[in-house]
Amino acid sequence: MSPILEKFTTHLKNTLRDAILSARLHRHASIEPVDVIRSLVLQRGSMGAEVIWKSGYTRPSSEIPMRRTAVETDHVDTMLTNAWSKFSESTQHAILRAAMTAVRLKHRYIGTEHLLSGLLNPQIDADIRTFLREHRVRTQDIEKHLQIVLKSTSKFPEITRIFADRPSRHPVDHDGMDASEEHPSALEFFATDMTSDHYQQHVDPVIGRESEIERMIHILCRRTKNNPVLIGEPGVGKTAIVEGLAKRILQHEVPPILTNKRVLNLDLSLVVAGTMYRGEFEGRMKQIIDELREDPNVILFIDEMHMLVGAGSTSGSMDAANILKPALAKGQISVVGATTYDEYRKYIESDAALERRFQPVVVDELSPEDALTVLRGIKPYYEQFHHVTIDDSAIQASVELSTRYLQDKLLPDKAIDVLDEAASRLRVNEDIDPLSKTIETFERDLKHLRGEKIHAVEQEQYQEALQIKKREQMIMEKLAELHQQQQSRTTKSLGTVTAEDIAHVVSRITKIPLMEITATEKEQLRNLDTEIKKYLIGQNDAVESVASFVKRSRAGLSHANRPTASFMFLGPTGVGKTELAKLLARTVFKDEKALIRIDMSEFSESFQASKLLGAPAGYVGYKEGGKLTETVRRRPYSVVLFDEIEKAHPDIFNLLLQILDEGHLTDATGKNINFKNTIVV
């Protein structure tokens, strides 16, 4: 039994030890399954015991608790080995079934939950059934809870028990053999090494962020509070800066104090996953911190650092942030965080003790010139991945058009997105070739032949199996030849990504017609008044005035931070004011749906302004978005028509001041809505 004992958890060993004592107490000739389950119930804190107690276990008042004899941990293994022959045959089978269950579930240990499964399956012992009935426990409830536990337990559960006896990060046994393989490392399981060659193969170069990386290096070299946190809007490249630091460490381009350091990216969601009982999450975090203390050459990177606050917290337990605080303050571990302004203010700044342990490094959006440099630096990686050639005009267009039309994203992220999608579009259009279909057909035939071959061998038709094997070999040779042809094709460029491809992608993202983005806009604007006059008769002066102003605005002869144009249409009912607004949407934006009509007669009271901006915090409809702001955010290129504006309350006119003067409006949730590409009527 000695080899299998090494896989037993401490709770399981204690359960079997107490079962021996229970058998003596009840004067059993051998150790029966009922002795095992009687001692298992008393192992509070173990998974097996928790399952039984959760299933409704109640202890009768007449029951006398079993008196335990103290046995040193070192002697438990010897005690169990010597007493193995005293275990009844049914008990031995239950223990072996527990081991087989652990192997089947690919668990690295054998615990009390596996033992409970072995005791209940395939058939419950009569004495166990009686014991459970006396304690008002239904076997169906136990099996239901046990099934949930066994399924949801990850292959790295009860981490504190697994690592309990591990004295150091790289333990060496008495024979000089490295024993670390027997005990998995928490950091290796929950984190990814960003300084490894394999990881860096898939990382693009970091360009234009030298000052941020230098500032981060200075903070990491401090004696205490050596924990930088990168703060910036989504898409500015916070994670890329840490990847750039890892690349510098790998290439030995850092000060001597950081040489041989490793940057590990912690997956916080994986740490939380599978922690069902109190203390499991804290045990995992404690083990991670202990390993960081023992290995000073590790820098821990936590992306979305605000998730630390509240992570793993239940009633009466600590979250990840509070567990980390003592080690962070003393400089025993080095942590790099990354989060956005909003999340930093909401979660980190509100906890002064956590905030003072981190040094903020602000990451601003790149300028268009720096974004161009970044795109030119990563161009070869995208050319190699998509098998295309990217023209320099495409790079310039991706920066210019994304800056102009994609206002809700930041550089360089939005320019890279546009370039990547344009290359992907070209590749997908060129990728469909008959060779791929031929390879797919041969692979299906090969799979079918292998199934026939296995069937022939099972039927002992060996001659037929040999014939099938020859056909299989011929198909494999043909497949190898086809794969070689396909490989030679993929090395060739499938085409060139141009500025027109970039314009096409931006057009599809923003729903703006392609001609609006490209140079053909001049032709469109030249005939704007003529196009409107076809549908609106008798208002030539008004049409020419509107068309003239739109042309000047599109030519760049207007304020850059204001709407494209703003008009006040005056006149009696039925002369064509609303119709002209509809025609503007159809001719300028090439879509009648580009008209956002707000009936101002609905806003005759001052409090109804919340309908336009969204309800304030604490009111019904909060976070749902306003009628005006949400519509413009989804369709930034449109005509905004405030119809029957004379019926609106005077206080609502104050909202128009911000739109017409600054070209933006802030909604109830604090989002900045851009009106610079709208025509306000």
The secondary structure of 426-455 as a DSSP string is: HHHHHH--HHHHHHHHHHHHHHHHHHHHHH
Say yes or no: 225 and 310 in one domain: yes
Say yes or no: 583 and 648 in one domain: yes
β-strand partners of 228: 359
Q: What 8-state DSSP symbol labels residue 8?
A: B
Tens digits of per-residue pLDDT, 604-638? Answer: 887 777 778 877 766 666 666 678 888 888 888 88
Say yes or no: 77 and 199 in one domain: no
Would 175 be classed as within a structural domain? no
Residue carrying the six token digits 């995992």: 284
Would 621 be classed as within a structural domain? yes
Residue carrying the six token digits 């008196």: 67
Tens digits of per-residue pLDDT, 145-190? Answer: 888 777 765 444 444 444 444 444 333 333 333 333 444 578 888 8
Structural domain ending residue among the three candidates 362, 396, 419: 362
Return the amino acid letter for 394. Answer: A
Is 90 exceeded by the pLDDT of residue 230? yes
Would 373 be classed as within a structural domain? no
Range in 241-255, 279-293, 520-534, 584-598 with the lowest mean pLDDT: 520-534
pLDDT at 578: 84
Would 370 be classed as within a structural domain? no
Tens digits of per-residue pLDDT, 41-58? Answer: 888 778 888 888 888 777
Which of 71 and 412 is assigned the larger pLDDT? 412
Say yes or no: 488 and 524 in one domain: no
Phi, psi (5° rounding) for residue 309?
Answer: -75, 115
The domain in which residue 492 lies consists of 379-510
Say yes or no: 322 and 400 in one domain: no
Tens digits of per-residue pLDDT, 98-154? Answer: 888 888 887 878 888 888 888 887 777 888 888 888 888 888 888 888 887 777 654
pLDDT category of residue 314 using cuts at 50, 70 and 90: low
Q: Supply the pTM of this predicted model.
A: 0.60
Query: Residue 355 maps to which CATH number?
Result: 3.40.50.300
Say yes or no: 193 and 342 in one domain: yes
Return the amino acid letter for 23. Answer: A
Cα–Cα nearest to 19, from 76, 62, 99: 76
Please list, in sequence order, all residues whose beta carbon lies within 8 angstroms of the beta carbon of residue 85, skipping any fewer than 6 positions away: none
Say yes or no: 444 and 343 in one domain: no
Say yes or no: 503 and 542 in one domain: no
Is 90 exceeded by the pLDDT of residue 510? no
Phi, psi (5° rounding) for residue 636?
Answer: -70, -15
Query: Residue 463 maps to which CATH number?
Result: 1.20.81
Helix (H, G, I), strand (E, B) or coil at 230: strand
Would 367 be classed as within a structural domain? no
Say yes or no: 522 and 495 in one domain: no
β-strand partners of 230: 338, 361
Say yes or no: 265 and 281 in one domain: yes
Say yes or no: 137 and 214 in one domain: no
Phi, psi (5° rounding) for residue 303?
Answer: -75, 150
Domain count, the chain: 4
Structural domain ending residue among the three candidates 470, 488, 510: 510
Residue carrying the six token digits 């630390």: 308
Phi, psi (5° rounding) for residue 623?
Answer: 75, 5
Say yes or no: 580 and 435 in one domain: no
Would 271 be classed as within a structural domain? yes
Would 163 be classed as within a structural domain? no
Q: Is the dihedral of CA 615, 619, 621, 623 positive or negative?
A: positive
Task: Yes or no: say if 600 and 645 are a contact pair by the CB < 8 Å rule.
Answer: yes
pLDDT category of residue 229 using cuts at 50, 70 and 90: very high
Burial class (CB in 10 A: 0-12, 13-18, 19+), 360: middle
pLDDT at 163: 45
Would 160 be classed as within a structural domain? no
